[in-house]
Each structure stands twice: as structure tokens, then as C-alpha cells.
Chains A and B, each alone.
Chain A
Amino acid sequence: MLNAQKIRKDFPILSREVNGKPLVYLDNAATSQTPQQVIEVIVDYYSSYNANIHRGVHFLSQEATDKYEQARQKIQRHFNASKAKEIIFTSGTTHGINLVANGFSSLLQKGDEILVSAMEHHSNIVPWQMLAERTGAILKVIPMNEQGELMMNEYRNLLSSNTKLVFCNHVSNALGTINPIATIIDEAHKVGAAVLIDGAQAAPHIKADVQALNVDFYTVSAHKMCGPTGVGVLYGKEEWLNKLPPYQGGGEMIAEVTFEKTTYADLPHKFEAGTPNICGGIAFGAALDYLNSIGFSEMEAYEHELLDYATNKLLEIEGLKIYGTAQEKTSVISFNIEGVHPYDIGTILDKLGIAVRTGHHCAQPIMDFYKIPGTVRASFSFYNTKEEVDILVEGVKRAKNMLL
């Protein structure tokens, strides 16, 4: 069994105070905290071998290049991609989505259809709307039910030979729903559509196997997985990555340049223009090492226990409603108290040292579905404890008493 008290010692930030109270960090779905093991890798990079990669003849450049490429291989192994060149370093999930959306501009025709799920983050809606505007393709929405689960029969009805692309998150950031992506991918492939899965919220909890899923694109951010901000990866099947044109032009992504014509570099460099976040990529690899040393099945079991405990405790509060009650969900609880604005609850909780997110969570269509301005979202990680859940529950009760 996972020992959260021991694990917490790895995270320096967890012992700080906020507003004179011990920090209770429950905003893990926004960003996760960083363990000492990853911080040390970042410090080591800048202290020992900071250099530009892939082009230097000197020692440091070679060392940095080796470490960066080793990180790519670690990420490849983690997601079980068949080749390292199918792992493209990006600045994060949003970058990965935009890279694919932009690439499909030249592959789509007027009247082609794009399906997107009703529970997407704005970053997985807006790029496709822009793509639809550019190409004349039609954007259609896979609806969800009151529990926050995708309506799979509706999805099957929407699929046709016109469907070229399907986009869906693996886990909803606002509700925590784990979507049945294996089925979504299989069904899309039957009509010849490609599938991009936004794995940003799933990756900290579930180890996705891209080959077993047979997914075309899967994209994640390091900062939700105990890594640094500003770095992530896009996994793409080699055949798809070869079909897509480069996203940005610049150094690193070329083979040969003359003023008449440029030939592009091979994968993955074709999509990695400019000097990348070298330290970030290496630290991402270290973060995966850290998470795997704890073990995803151990984390999942522990987080599920926290989720059940928190759900039951919160539901004891009269007037509290939880949004997103799917059968399969990660350790995210989105809730409101009847008659109270989520922003007010978040403000009081902040004064008590409890960090939660309030608002629409960049998923306005979900809020519109439930006809609410937003929710309070508490999201738990493997380093959170039942004691922290108790502090949250007491905080919510206190906020309720003050506000009502």
C-alpha cells in the first residue's frame, strides 16, 4: 500500500503555509506539484550540462543531446509507442492539439465531418472550430448524459463515411469522467476516421498503452505528471506524422535549406522547430521515473480510496451537489452548494489554506449543460491524505455557514 506520509516528504512545497495555515493542495488537475527528485534533475541540468542540442560538436552539447533523447525513449516506453520518433516534444497538450489540427488543414475537404465530445476543454474545441472554419469541414458534438458520461449510441449514429476525425479527452478535466476511449477509437476506425485523444487529465492517473489502444494521436503535458510546465509530448502513429505537414518552420526541423526549396528533417525533428525546452524534456523523463517508482496501479487504488472517502464526506453536507457522477472517474470532485456561488466558496477555502479551482474550468459547454456558472473543483493526487479531505470538508461547512 502506498505510503502518502512518506511520499509527501518528497514534495518541498507541501510543507509550506498559505494564509497562516498549512497548505492543503487540491488543485492537482490544474497542475501537479514537483518532487525533489525532479527538482534535482532541473538544478543538475543548469549546473552541469546546459547546452544546445543536436548540433554542437562539443562535449556538453553531446551530453545534453544524449539526456534529451534518453528522455524521449523513456516517454516512448512509458506510453508503449513502437518507435521513439513517434514521440514529438511539444510545449504541452494544447500545442500537440494545435499541431494536429493545423496539419489536417491540408487533408480535409468541405463537407468532411469532425466529431468532438461534449465534455472537452476549450483547448480541444477551439482548434477544431478554427480547423472547420479554414476547411469548410463540419464540427459535430458527441452528447453526454446527466451523469457526465458520453452517449455512445449517439456517437455511433454520428459516425459515417464523412467522419474524418474524432477528438475526445481520455478524462474530463471538469468532471473526472474516464471516457471509453478504446471503444471510441475502434468505432472511429471502422469508418476510416483518425482519432486524437487528449490525455492531459488521464496521464497522471492512468498509464495509456498507445499500441494496445491503437490510437492515432495521444497528447499530454508534463506539468500534470509531477514534471515542469511548458513541456509535453504528442504521440502520433508514424504513418500519420509522415502525412501531416510541419507545423512551424525554423531551425532543427530542416534537412536542407536553399532559397528555392527546403527539405524537412525526418521524424520527430520535422515537428520540433527551434531550440526545445531541453531541461523540461529531461525533467519530464525524471518525473515519469518518479511516478513509475511509486506505481500507477498503487496510485490509482489509493486515489480511488480518497475519491470515495471525499465523495461520501462531502455528500453529508446538506445542499451540496456533485457534478460528474460517472461510473468510471478519476479523483476529481466538481461540486456546488445550493444558493452559493462557487467563487465565494473558493475564496473562503483559500483563506483556510485550501487550494481548489473554481469557475468553468475552461469547459463552458459543460457548465451550460448543467445551467450553472461554474463549480468548485477539488482534485486529489497520490500525495493527498484523508486528513486533508477532512480539512476540506470542514472548510466547505464553514464557508457554507458564512455564506448562507
Chain B
Amino acid sequence: MDIKEIQEEIVDEFSMFDDWMQRYEYMIELGKSLPLIDEKYKTEDNIIKGCQSKVWVHAELEEDKLVFTADSDAIITKGIIAILIRAFSNQKPQDIIDADTEFIDEIGLKEHLSPTRANGLVSMIKQLKLYAVAYQTQLN
């Protein structure tokens, strides 16, 4: 599936929930099931400093696709990371560069994407795209 299709799938899943409680409970579940980043990558270098919760991201090229692993010390943040990773991981760098993130808004999590919200999520998306740019350059 390409990024757009995965995003549509996620939007579909979230459309089943009636209220914020269910959405957040699902996100917390996703957060708990996020495959853990290898401890050796949880370094200061890999940390994306949001104001409150820490986010670590690691990227690796497998053939022509970029694979992300990540973690956070806050579970709701981790849930959002899980959603982002599902959408962006295992995709070609150029597709990641071109992808938009409006689906986050559609699943009712817009507040987490506000640049003023101190959770480092905006920086996280930026970081995923920066990795994609870096690896795309390498592929060229």
C-alpha cells in the first residue's frame, strides 16, 4: 500500500469511534504496541526535543525503502508516533518527502499537530522528512 492508502485506512479506523475517549484509548493501545526502538538508538543524538515528552527516532534504508523505529516516554505521544510510523515507514524516501499529514487532522488529533503544543510532534514529522531527504540524496 502507498502512503495515501495507508492514511485512508487509518482515517477509516478512527471514523468508527464516536468520542474522544475511544480515540484516545485506541491511541494508547497503539502506543503500547509500538515495536520498540533498539535501545542503542535511544541516544541524545536521536532525540527530538519537544518541550515535555521525549521522542527518539531512528531511520534505516532497507533496499530502496526507509524504515523508521521510534519511541517516546509519553504514551499518547507514542500512539501518535505509531500512527505516523505506520503511514511513513517502509516507503520510498521520495514518497515520504511528498506525503502530506492532513490525515492527522481528519482523525481528530489536530491539536497534537499545533506548533504551539509542546510535544515535539511537529518536529517529529519534520525529522522523518529530513531523514527521507537525506536518504533520497544518498539514493541519487
Which residues of A are in contact with B by a Cβ distance under 8 Å? 19, 340-344, 347-348, 351, 358-360, 373-374, 402-403
Contacts and interface: CB of A to CB of B under 8 A. Distances in A.
A403 B52 contact: no
B20 A343 contact: no
B75 interface: yes
Contacts of A402: 21, 24-25, 28
A270 to B, nearest CB: 37
Contacts of A343: 52-53, 74, 76-77, 119
Interface string B11-29: 0000000001100110010
A199 to B, nearest CB: 26
Contacts, number: 41
B118 A344 contact: no
B60 interface: no
Nearest to A348: B24
B54 interface: yes
Interface in B10-66: 20-21, 24-25, 28, 51-54
Interface residues of B, number: 16
The winner among A19, A351, A360 for most chain B CB atoms within 10 A is A351
Contacts of A348: 24, 76
Nearest to B72: A341
11 contacts: A340-B75, A341-B75, A343-B74, A343-B77, A348-B76, A351-B20, A351-B24, A359-B51, A359-B52, A373-B53, A373-B54
The winner among A340, A341, A342 for most chain B CB atoms within 10 A is A341
A341 B119 CA distance: 12
7 closest A-B pairs (Cβ-Cβ)?
A341-B74, A343-B74, A343-B52, A359-B52, A343-B53, A344-B76, A344-B74
Contacts of B118: 359
B9 interface: no
B8 interface: no
Contact of B76 (A347, A359, A360): A347
Contacts of A19: 20
The winner among A340, A347, A359, A402 for most chain B CB atoms within 10 A is A347
Given A344-B76, A351-B24, A373-B52, 6 more contacts: A341-B73, A343-B77, A347-B24, A348-B24, A373-B53, A373-B73
